[in-house]
Structure 1
Amino acid sequence: MKNYLKFLVLILFVSCGNDKKNTTELVQVKQTTLANHIERLASDEFLGRKPFTEGEVKTINYLKDEFEKLGLLPGNGNSFFQDVPMVEISGTPSENMIISGKSGKINLEVFKDFVASTNKVVTDVNLENSELVFAGYGIVAPEYEWNDYEGIDWKGKTAIVLINDPGFKSGDSTLFKGNEMTYYGRWTYKYEEAARQGADGVIIIHDTEPASYGWNVIESGWSGSHLIIESDLPLLNVESWISDESAKKMFDISSMKGQDYKTMSREKDFKPVLLDLKVSVGVKNKIKKDVSKNVIALIPGTERKDEFIIYSAHWDHFGVSKAIEGDSIYNGAVDNASGTAGLLAMAEAFKKSEAIKRSVVFIAVTGEEQGLLGSAYYSEYPIFNPKKTVANINIDALDSPGKMKDLTITGYGQSEMDEYAKEAATKQNRYIIPDPEAEKGYFFRSDHFNFAKIGIPALYASGTYEGFDKSIEDIKAYNDNYRINKYHQPSDEYNPETTDLSGVQLDLQLFFNVGLKLANEDYFPKWYDGSEFKTAREQ
């Protein structure tokens, strides 16, 4: 009997020891916490969470209060807030863009043939007989030994560039990343690089297939007002697009008449070409300034407090706008009350786990729907040293009709964060797949991108392809229904009786597990060779 009691004591001792050792592994991201926060944030009370409205005030104070209740510390000194100064620019372009040379003149009509805007906070900008230069894809990529701006003094000149990058539809998987769009292919990059080169303006040639959207998207997206953050970075006088048809007319009166400008732009030895043309166009602006806020909360590490894992999600949506079927509040339950609530649910899980060695930061950013503005501001004015920031895990629009077998990684192949995600997915009996539409550049369309731009390896993923209990076809139909009937519509609402959050919880648990591993080791994940963000990390 005495030996039996000793045996029981030994089992109890071992069990207690194992329980203590594995406490962090047993912590779950609570689905009830997630559901409660989504229901609240997506309610009409928050008025669609638009920056500069009562909805913003309610949202940021709700997040601050909830982080405080969990025992998190302010992430910006003594404050939970980071001011994000924004400017609303209502631009009116000139009725015509005039392109002229020795061989002729073309008069392009606004919206039908071209769009034009500026991010300069001034009432008037112009290109007045600015010299036009064809700059291929408008790319400077040292890792590919590529420079489309080489050999030209760009002061007083306007660059004409192609959308996407040389790899698209080239048939060569080693040219950039083949069909997968790199950041060099995004229109935002084209404007940024031309400004760095000292050009006065850029005109991007629209082409539906490489752009992944039609001219109608350009026409609507570049009309009316837009929000920007004020910046010390160089800016162009005019940022513009022209239609493919207009571009062909332009080349017909240029020094390149008859040349295949698209094919020649794929050649590694391409050099910019003076077109013997000049362009004139202007934009008149009305300007309004205001301040929005990022919400930042911190769990300090126990051993390496100056090393950080950042979780991010955008809190904003479209507020109260055009009524559809009698509903004018754009609640944004999936986009992105799901991610914002996920921050709170994961913060709760971290506070319940054992002490962590590195610090963990939760950032709810503003202005994503206006162009990733809150994360862009943070990347320009980071609170935590980017060189000491281990990784970013971004959460945007989590939605599924149940638990998913897959974890689809947007930007797969960029960094070693893929390996962390794969390890965590395997433990959930899930598999990893790359984004099946990588040519559309989704990696560059959510807030993780701005962390990547300053060299921080980022993970952006979710289950979107195959369910444990639902087929690939069922999931596609579910996703199509959301995209067609709910995305950016008042109908993106939360219904606790019909919404299954088990798949969202599974994704969040994976993100928590990845962050927990990173928080308790001393390794810094690296960008893979060939990533356009590797240089930023190493500089």
Structure 2
Amino acid sequence: MIRNSLTIAAAAAIAAVGARAETPVFADVEPGAISEATMKEVTKTLSSDEFEGREPGTAGEEKTLDYLVEKLRDAGLQPGNDGSWFQDVPLVEITADNFEELRIGGPAADLRYRPRADWVGVTYREDRRIDLDDSEIVFVGFGINAPEKGWNDYAGVDMRGKTALILVNDPDYDSEELQGTFNGKAMTYYGRWTYKYEEAARQGAAAALIVHEDYPAAYGWNVVESSWTGPQAYAERGNGGADQTMVNGWVQKEVAEAILQAAGQDFLALSAAAKRPGFKPVALGLTASTGFDNSVRKFASKNVIGILPGSERPDEYVLHSAHWDHLGHCTPNAEGDDICNGAIDNATGTAALVALGEAHVKAGPTARTQVFLAVTAEESGLLGSEYYGATPVFPLDRTVGGLNMDALFLAGPAHDVTVVGGGKSTLDAYLDHALSDLGRVATPDSAPQAGYYYRSDHFSFAKRGVPMFYIDGGEDLLDGGRAAGEAYSAAYRENAYHGPDDEYDPAWDWSGVMQDLQLYYRLGRMLGETTDWPNWYEGDEFRAIRDESCAAEGGC
């Protein structure tokens, strides 16, 4: 898995904002007593066929929850939610069916596009029927409203009842540099599809259609088609999603080109204009229509929370997160196995919560409370962490920061680590210090435009202002170097990722994982002992919300 680097991105951030904030004083941290036996046992158990792939809302979830409570209790942790190990997470599953064509109409236009092949769409509304009728189409560039950057792609247009046609990624994604209004080729949150749908809804749009292109999206149409068809799960909203758009979807680039041509516009020319400051939305004089039926199922899942209360400042919190869920039953492999066991993704990360909890208990509490949060429904769109972020058990303005663990790297020990989202916050100083102590380095990023920082559970906390680490194992292996590490990553992606062959292997080399866990342990202890409150660098998209929360009475 290729991720963001600390080294390059941090340099860009420093150049943009000047010198870093004053480096905090770090407590000395002895190596943690982290159990490899615990890592093996928990990973093997959670990924066994008995747990049926740990899909939320199934018998596999019940087994998972029971087992996690047992292991967290045995580790010496305490229940984290007012005497309970659980936080209830109400979910809604919406399955669309009977899709109509996407019809584009106008004075001289009658275009029709097939569902799945040409366009995909879903709704976040808990409505049994969606009918989008003659909704005026407006090209809104990258669909970004970023006041801190002086950028508003919706300037001067009333989007109520209209359909937003939106470019994927953000305006400087094709830069060769890591500097620019939107961090150059390194994707910001404004480039993620999640943001684009959220902003379209805030603008009052009836529908939002993102134009798919392989490079700026960082995946092909096949990924869009498979991900945006079939059951879609969401964290339940009190209003049934009434404040969301009616339709959120994607269109093939060729479809967008034809729509703009029918409006007398040129796709390349408008795309180029959308990359420049001062872009104004373009009403196309065309309408969009479609419809589909929905079946709605409500069910509940659970986050699991264990804590080691702080010895001096127990109302300040250091967060460790990992998702316990996986895909359940899935497309069978050649041998007919249809259980997606999720051994690496993410029984390993969940096992790390238990093993780190054990190690922190053995070392004794830090000044601040250590929180170990196993979240549900990551595979459905970060839903468990999103629910926690929206309804936190521990106030986010008293959450110092933390780290997320997702799919640990089982290729063996490495000289480096890969750092997702380096150069965004003063957590960089903690990582620099810890890596120096351990004799390791951070790797460069080969695909920052993919925006991996916005694709795992830490993001649900980061976008609400909490500085979060997301660190993967390195690929510069002691045995075989970078070529061996890249080969391991490629083999996992091609042969096991999100498939039935992501299974526990007794022959795995755990030495690299144990090396990484010592880093995670050290970072947790450092955050737990310092009086510092990390923050995002000036100009980062999450800085304003952190400043606001820290300014509140009792915050930070």
What TM bracket, shorter-length normalisation?
Answer: over 0.9
Question: 1:468: how far off?
Answer: 2.1
- Larger mean CA deviation between 84-93 and 440-449 belongs to 84-93
Question: 2:113 maps to which residue?
Answer: 108
Task: Say which of 452, 458, 477 aligns to 2:462.
Answer: 452
The corresponding residue for 1:97 is 102
Which amino acid is the alignment partner of residue 44 of structure 1? D
- Going from structure 1 to structure 2, the CA distance change for 1:23 and 1:536 (only over 3 Å counts) comes to closer
Structure 2 gap segments, 5+ residues each: 1-26, 549-556
Q: Which residue of 2 aligns with 1:519?
A: 528
| Secondary structure at the counterpart of residue 370 of structure 1 | coil
The answer to whether the Cα contact below 8 Å between 1:23 and 1:353 also exists between their aligned partners in 2 is no
Find 1:310's aligned residue among 319, 322, 326.
319
> 2:402–2:524: 8 Å Cα contact kept in structure 1?
no
TM-superposition CA deviations, 1:146-181 (whole Å, max 9, x none): 111111122111111100100111456323111111
Distance 2:518 2:72 in 1: 19
User: 2 CA distance for matches of 1:329 and 1:94?
Assistant: 29
- Name the structure 2 match of 1:247: 256
Distance in 1 of aligned mates of 2:267 and 2:530: 59
- The separation in 2 between residues aligned to 1:48 and 1:522, in whole angstroms, is 41
Work out whether residues 102 and 115 of structure 2, in 8 Å CA contact, stay in contact via their aligned partners in 1.
yes
Asked whether the 8 Å contact 2:331–2:499 carries over to 1, the reply is no
Question: What pairs up with 1:18-37 in 2 under 5 angstroms?
Answer: 25-37=30-42
- Give 1:357 shift: 0.6
Q: Shift in Å at residue 259 of structure 1?
A: 7.2
Is 2:156 the partner of 1:146?
A: no
Could you list the per-position Cα deviations for residues 368-397 of structure 1 after superposition, in whole angstroms to 9, with x for gaps in the alignment? 111111111111111111111011200000
Deviation by residue 1:187-230 (Cα, 9 ceiling, x = unmatched): 11110111111111111111121111222222222221111111
Answering whether residue 398 of structure 2 is matched by residue 388 of structure 1, we say yes
Runs of 4+ in 1 over 3 A off after TM superposition: 170-173, 255-259
What secondary structure, in the 3-state scheme, does the structure 1 residue paired with 2:30 have?
A: helix
* TM-score when normalising by structure 1: 0.93
Q: 1:44 deviation in Å?
A: 1.9
Q: Which residue of 2 aligns with 1:15?
A: none
The DSSP-based 3-state class of the residue aligned with 1:292 is strand
Counterpart code for 2:291: G
- Which whole-Å CA distance do the structure 2 matches of 1:340 and 1:135 have between them? 41
Pairing of 1:198-237 with structure 2 (within 5 A): 198-232=204-238, 234-237=243-246
Q: Superposition pairs for residues 172-321 of structure 1, below 5 Å?
A: 173-232=179-238, 234-254=243-263, 256=265, 260-321=269-330
Distance 1:195 1:32 in 2: 48
TM-score (norm 2): 0.90
User: What is the one-letter code of the residue matched to 2:120?
Assistant: V
CA deviation profile, 1:403-441 (whole Å, cap 9, x unmatched): 111111011111122221221112111101243221111
* Alpha-carbon distance change, 412 to 258 in structure 1, aligned in 2, over 3 angstroms: closer
**How far is the alpha carbon of 1:24 from its aligned partner?**
5.4
Kindly provide the amino acid, as one letter, of the partner of residue 241 in structure 1: W
- Tell me, in whole angstroms, the C-alpha distance in 2 between the residues paired with 1:411 and 1:434: 11
Which of 323, 332, 338 is equivalent to 2:348?
338
User: Does residue 402 in structure 1 map to residue 403 in structure 2?
Assistant: no
Q: Which runs of 5+ in 1 are unaligned?
A: 1-21
For the 8 Å contact 2:305–2:374, the answer to whether it is kept is yes
Offset at residue 447 of structure 1 (A): 0.5
Count of residues paired in the alignment: 517
Deviation per residue, 1:478-532 (Å, 9 max, x gap): 1111111111122111122x11111111111101100101101110111112321
Q: Which has the higher contact order (CA 8 A, sep 6+)?
A: 2
In structure 2, the partner of 1:19 is none
Shift of 1:93: 5.5
Deviations 1:423-464 (CA, angstroms, capped at 9, x unpaired) = 111211110124322111111111011111111101001223
Q: Does 1:479 align with 2:484?
A: no
Amino acid at match of 1:430: R
The aligned residue for residue 4 of structure 1 is none
2:425 maps to 1:421: no
Does structure 1 conserve the Cα–Cα contact (< 8 Å) formed by 2:425 and 2:535? yes
Q: Residue type matched to 1:207 in 2?
A: E
RMSD of Structure 2 on Structure 1 (CA): 1.7
Equivalent-residue separation in structure 1 for 2:420 and 2:176 (angstroms): 22
Q: Deviations for 1:301-323, whole angstroms, at most 9, x for unmatched residues?
A: 11111110010000011123332
Matched residues in 2 for 1:258 and 1:27: separation? 56
SS in 1 for 2:57: coil
Name which of structure 1's ranges 137-146 and 248-257 shifts more when overlaid on structure 2. Answer: 248-257
Could you say which residue in structure 2 is the equivalent of 1:50? 55
Label 1:259 to 1:511 Cα distance change in 2 as closer, same or farther (>3 A). Answer: closer
Task: Give identity over the alignment, percent.
Answer: 44
Q: Is the 8 A contact 2:100 2:292 kept in 1?
A: no
Alpha-carbon contact 1:130-1:157 (below 8 Å) kept:
yes
